[in-house]
Copies of this chain bind each other. A is one copy, B any other.
Amino acid sequence: MSFSDYQYEIYLNGLAGQQPPYSTSFAELERVARERLEPGPYWYVAGSAGIGATQRANREAFDRRRIVPRMLRDVSVRDLGVELFGRRYPAPLLLAPIGVQSIVHPDGEMATARAAASLGVPMVLSTAASHTIEEVAEAGGPRWFQLYWPHDDEVTLSLLQRAAGSGYDTLVVTLDTWTLAWRPRDLDLAYLPFLRGTGLAIPFSDPVFRSRLERPVEEDLNGAIIQWAPMFNGRSHTWERLSLLRDNWDGPIVLKGVQHPDDALRAADAGMDGVVVSNHGGRQVDGATASLDALPAIAAAVGDRLTVLFDSGVRTGSDVVKALALGARAVLLGRPYVWGLAVGGEDGVRHVLRSLLAELDLTLGLAGHDGPAGLDPSALEAS
């Protein structure tokens, strides 16, 4: 079975008079999700920092780059698999860490995790999930853990221990969101799920965090939120403090949100294993450089010292091809799978993943490549 079989499946269902339950256009999927969701949840996901300049820049950067397909190559059989940190994955694709998924669907991260597991695609579980580290682990499948790094080292170590204990093998440390950005859509709706306790399943289930509280979460939600807020929001960490993580996590560590080659080099110096070139989908620094524009220089700077992953703006199979050609080893998909979740729960997420993987498989082949390994800048038009 190959990823592109999903194409046949859809057309064959068409023979039986059946159209796909969800659109294969992610823009259309978002439209439907928007109709079904309240403005708060919709905009929490769809929105961006400021006036959305970086969110648009992310897409324009993809649009500016162009693939040059090659013909008559032996690419009938393709293997999309990649090795990341010594482990083989079926495709150069991960699910980006997105929190509070229960605001768009009651099953939240559980549905996402099950969809990802059914395809063998690794999910990066957010610290801001609606379900606990342990619950999500039950879905099986490859799993990474994303850390919003608390300003309480014992809580940090407890989270790492729980993640490792539940089989999350890679740690993704988000650097770009130590404080929440200015997001006019959320502000106008005064909608911040965390202040209602949503997205706090992980700290609230944490024994060390709970030991910080005067009264149990269940009895005093506001007190717990008041404890949580300054621990997770408003203060930055520094390079020196990465040793805490390095010393307490055996698996690979990836820094997410890197946009400058010097920061990537510093990550290597600090013993990190990888970076995610990302601007958080335009949700943090409005006016920031497009993530794809930042990628080539970072990839060139770090060479083999780090595994470079990419995130921010991926919407199509050709986007994946472009990011890989510019130096990413794999990409993280964000908002589109949340629209899948919103319209179809686990099924909807699977549909989005299968669609993207099918498109990637076909695009890769039609461009003359039998897998990610063959991609380098020569796959694109010289810019």
Contacts and interface: CB of A to CB of B under 8 A. Distances in A.
A231 interface: no
Interface residues of A, number: 96
Contact of A62 (B186, B259, B287, B318): B287
A179 B362 contact: yes
A318 B286 contact: yes
A188 B25 contact: yes
A205 B303 CA distance: 57
Interface string A237-263: 111011000000000000101111011
Interface string A67-82: 1111111111000000
A198 interface: no
A170 to B, nearest CB: 19
A311 interface: no
Interface string A174-193: 01101111101111111110
A157 interface: no
B69 A279 contact: yes
Interface stretch (A50-58, A99-107, A209-217): A50-58
Given A50-B316, A287-B322, A359-B50, A72 B182 contact: no
Given A19-B188, A50-B318, A180-B362, 19 more contacts: A11-B190, A11-B192, A11-B195, A15-B196, A24-B182, A53-B62, A62-B287, A68-B288, A69-B259, A69-B288, A71-B255, A72-B237, A73-B236, A73-B238, A179-B366, A181-B362, A182-B317, A284-B366, A289-B381
Top 7 closest pairs, chain A to chain B, by CB? A14-B190, A287-B318, A182-B359, A66-B289, A71-B175, A76-B235, A25-B184
